[in-house]
Structure 1
Amino acid sequence: MPIPNNALVLVVDGRKMLFFRNQGDENQIDLRTEDHDERDDANHDGDLKTDAPGTSHSSVGSGRSSMEETNFKQQDEDNWVKEAAENLKKRALQNDFDHLCIVAPPKALGVLRKALHKEVEKRVVCTINKEMSGRPIPDIEALIVSETKASEPADI
């Protein structure tokens, strides 16, 4: 489905959150930056850990197995994406947008889908599974146009 005029476009990953408005129409997309935010990625996973991974004792015998380490960097990225979902929820409840297009890499898109409010879900017209947060606006526009044209039914 083509992206209508005034549709909100979210481009998000574990570090950046970009909001655009389509100032064009369904035939000619024209994204304008509305809001953006970037997470401070100064903490590395090793800086966040304070101890070695835990171990558990086997209930039978004397065996021990180590537990999987928590990936704090991934947790930070997931929380950042959930923050984007919360931002969308606030905007949807204020009727800030009627149509939404989401562009995010696979992992971020999965976290975002789980965190979306029902009011936001109703307004999603397009989701694109691709990392685009570091790309210029014309590249994002071209991707959206190519993805929405590909999903249109072919003329008979």
Structure 2
Amino acid sequence: MSKTIPAGALVVVADGGKAILLRNSGTEAEVVLGEERRLTLKDFVNDGPSGAGLEDQSPHDTGEATFAKQLAKTLNKMFDQNAFKSIVLIADPHTLGQLRDALHKNVDKAVAYTLSKDYTNHSIKQINEALG
């Protein structure tokens, strides 16, 4: 997958408990990221995990799985509302895998680029540089 960040693309920077939604207000050649919104597990307080948990799964693991599913649900809804045409996913490997598994196939097709790293505690400038 090439490192193309289309103009207007939604850039999701996530880990197992929080996500930063950014937008490329620049061009493919000159990416300019601006923050739109932040989400945490507490934003989904009434949404628990779906399905049966593994017996050896810790509450932390359950929380991460719940967050990934709920983030995917939010992204699926945003896509249905035409909030983005292309999306970039940046997350630690575990969260990225859970997120990709939970995305609707139409959202998955809109993924322009993925980066398997945790940048949630980095500045927007640092994230922008990682994509450049």
TM range (shorter): 0.7 to 0.9
Q: How many residue pairs get matched?
A: 119
Given that 2:93 and 2:117 are in contact with CA atoms closer than 8 Å, whether structure 1 keeps it comes out as: yes
Q: Which amino acid aligns with 2:59?
A: F
The residue that corresponds to 1:121 in the other structure is 108
The residue that corresponds to 2:26 in the other structure is 24
Matches within 5 A, 1:56-135: 69-135=56-122
Given that 1:93 and 1:119 are in contact with CA atoms closer than 8 Å, whether structure 2 keeps it comes out as: no
Deviation (angstroms), 1:112: 0.6
Matched, 1:142 2:121: no
Given that 1:11 and 1:133 are in contact with CA atoms closer than 8 Å, whether structure 2 keeps it comes out as: yes
Instruction: Name the CA distance, whole Å, in 2 between partners of 1:21 and 1:70.
Output: 34
Deviation (angstroms), 1:68: 5.7
Provide the secondary structure at the position in 2 that maps to 1:24: coil
Provide the secondary structure at the position in 1 that maps to 2:95: helix
Given that 2:72 and 2:102 are in contact with CA atoms closer than 8 Å, whether structure 1 keeps it comes out as: yes
The C-alpha deviation readout for 1:90-120, integer Å capped at 9, x for no partner, is 0111111111000000110110111010110
Structure 1 moving runs of 4+ over 2 Å: 67-70
| TM-score of the two chains, using structure 2 as the length reference | 0.85
Q: Which amino acid aligns with 1:93?
A: D
Given that 1:4 and 1:25 are in contact with CA atoms closer than 8 Å, whether structure 2 keeps it comes out as: yes
Identity of aligned residues (%): 34
The residue that corresponds to 1:149 in the other structure is none
RMSD over equivalenced CA pairs, Å: 1.5
Unaligned runs of 5+ in 2: 43-53
Larger Rg: 1
Q: Which has the higher contact order (CA 8 A, sep 6+)?
A: 2
Instruction: Name the CA distance, whole Å, in 1 between partners of 2:19 and 2:91.
Output: 10
Deviation (angstroms), 1:39: 3.1
| TM-score of the two chains, using structure 1 as the length reference | 0.72
Instruction: Name the CA distance, whole Å, in 2 between partners of 1:70 and 1:79.
Output: 12
Q: Which amino acid aligns with 2:33?
A: L
1:8 to 7, 10, 18: 10
Instruction: Name the CA distance, whole Å, in 2 between partners of 1:95 and 1:88.
Output: 10
Given that 1:15 and 1:39 are in contact with CA atoms closer than 8 Å, whether structure 2 keeps it comes out as: yes
